[in-house]
Structure 1
């Protein structure tokens, strides 16, 4: 893929997240054996393998921590691409299931293979997420 095609795919994926279409379109965006890694010690921190596990496990568990009657948005700051790699930076805005505002800066390093996301390494303030989303002190 060209750098611009990579950048476009990542922007399209972020838009699908924003509109709630990402799970339905996962085969369009992710290789079947894609991996998603979140470091830290949250209950969802690990490497998730395969697009079904990424969406059926990781994203499902994360989204379950939010009040879905309220909007969830990604305020995109930067998408940098170089060949089959991209870095996306955004701020997630949401409301927790406890009614607290949630605003967390996110950076994700993407690697693409054959025009689809083969891996994502996500970075955000896991201590903050732990307190607001998982009730950790």
Structure 2
């Protein structure tokens, strides 16, 4: 198991990419939270909450729900990873092919707060208007 905060987050990304719920759950605290902007297009399209609470809910979303929308060619390009103690900030661009065949591309900033070598909280920031256009087109 990784020991430094930056390594913990990089290890977690490998778990996320594998879509294995048990492996994903293992990188989070029991009471972990993932907070994305309310009403973001992914949550709306999947009819999921934008604030996930608990390692099982987060793991279920990443293993089961996420792949229903982002169906193939999912790629993440990391622009920067900044670590300071138990906080890690990741700047990235994610691209994918959506379930409707549309290309998705958006920039993200994620703030990971760690506790006892596990992820305790993730705050996700993204261009919500760009995400909405990619997923829903021009529909309001």
* Shorter-normalised TM range: 0.7 to 0.9
8 Å contact 1:30–1:118 — kept in the other structure? Answer: yes
1:50 correspondence with 2:54: yes
> What is the rounded CA distance, in whole Å, between the counterparts of 1:75 and 1:16 in structure 2?
16
Listed as ranges, the matches of 1:50-69 within 5 Å are 50-57=54-61, 60-67=64-71
Please state whether the residue corresponding to 2:113 is helix, strand or coil. Answer: strand
Listed as ranges, the matches of 1:1-16 within 5 Å are 5-16=4-15
Equivalent residue, structure 1, for 2:130: 128
Find 1:83's aligned residue among 82, 85, 88: 85
TM-score using structure 2 length: 0.81
> What is the rounded CA distance, in whole Å, between the counterparts of 1:10 and 1:116 in structure 2?
9
Equivalent residue, structure 2, for 1:38: 36
Equivalent residue, structure 2, for 1:17: 16
User: How far off its partner does 1:22 sit?
Assistant: 5.5
Q: Structure 1: which 5+ residue stretches go unaligned? A: none
> What is the rounded CA distance, in whole Å, between the counterparts of 2:89 and 2:129 in structure 1?
22
User: How far off its partner does 1:78 sit?
Assistant: 0.7
> What is the rounded CA distance, in whole Å, between the counterparts of 1:5 and 1:96 in structure 2?
34
Decide which moves more: 78-87 or 33-42: 33-42
